[in-house]
Amino acid sequence: MDTPQVEVSHADGVVRIKLNRPEKKNAFTQAMYTACEQALIAADNDASVSVVVFEGAGDSFSSGNDLNDFLAIENLDESAPPFKFLHTINRVTVPIVAKVNGLAIGIGTTLLLHCDLVYASEHATFALPFVKLGLLPEAGSSLLLPRLCGHQRASELLLLGDNFSARQAQQFGFVNGVVAADELDQHVDNVIAKLTSQSRQALRISKQLIKSPQQSVADRISHEAGYFAKALSSDEAKQAIAAKLQKK
């Protein structure tokens, strides 16, 4: 039986989506986009899931799109697998953690803009070489990158397309932490353990609030208040508060 190019596992509230094409540095094919999209939808619809983890097999996260496969798409519109995946990863409410080792090129970088927590090996290398290929930014990166790191820095990344390091990615705002390569697995596992110990409902609603369109402060206070009042009456909140009070 052929080894799947995307491996999906589910245990203890954690769904792991592993890009499993190491011989091609996990370059995305159309089938891989579809598999990732389906895994995200299933995780988002499963109330028992606390977190989704994206990772790559072998020595890279993803080297970007498989260009031969990409050029073979007959109708490159929003119904094509890459764009369906991107709309899905932008829409889901389940928290997403990315574990980045080695190369993270093109979509290997831009999909990180849709993850909630991103951790990278100190040896990770990032790049957005779209213009170098005569292409354009995708995955909402022309909007999300300026928000994260400002107009000039985003222009440097998108217009020049040069490689940049994990430390630079952290400075630019889309990598949370950089650790030694042999510490990456344990570091991410520690983060996952913290997430799975939290209220799943509170995690998802908090993510929705963080990603909500910009509002005035007054409107956001009102928006949060409705969710807060509902959460306060939930069994999860009552149990957590009771446990906290007992420790005092």
pLDDT in tens, 41-95: 999 999 999 999 999 999 999 999 998 887 777 777 788 888 899 999 999 999 9
Q: Which amino acid is at 222?
A: S
201 is a domain residue = no
- Is residue 115 a part of any domain in this protein? yes
Question: Which domain CATH number covers 125?
Answer: 3.90.226.10
Q: Are residues 183 and 236 in the same domain?
A: no
Spatial distance between the Cα atoms of 84 and 1, rounded to a whole number of angstroms: 28
Residues 218 and 123 in one domain: no
Q: How many folded domains does the chain comprise?
A: 2
Are 221 and 171 in a shared domain? no
- Find the domain containing 224 and state its range: 212-247
> What confidence score (pLDDT) does residue 6 get?
98
pLDDT of residue 23: 96
- The distance of Cα 196 from the centroid of its chain, to the nearest Å, equals 17
- At 53, is the secondary structure helix, strand, or coil? strand
Structure tokens given for 140:
């909402």
Query: How many C-alpha atoms does 175 have within 13 Å on its Cβ side?
Result: 26
User: Which portions of the chain are predicted below pLDDT 70?
Assistant: 1, 232, 241, 244-245, 248
Query: CA 60, CA 141: separation in Å to the nearest integer?
Result: 21
For residues 82 and 115, state if they share a domain.
yes
DSSP helix/strand/coil, 28: strand
Residues 136, 216, single domain; the answer is no
The closest alpha carbon to 104, from 56, 168, 173, belongs to 56
Separation between Cα atoms, residue 248 and residue 246, nearest integer Å: 5
For residue 113, the model assigns a pLDDT of: 95
With beta carbons less than 8 A apart as the criterion, state whether 61 and 105 touch: no
Q: Mark whether 192 and 216 lie in a shared domain.
A: no
Contact between 204 and 95 (Cβ < 8 Å): yes
Residue 98 lies in a domain: yes
Q: Which amino acid is at 82?
A: P
- For residues 190 and 220, membership in a common domain is answered with no
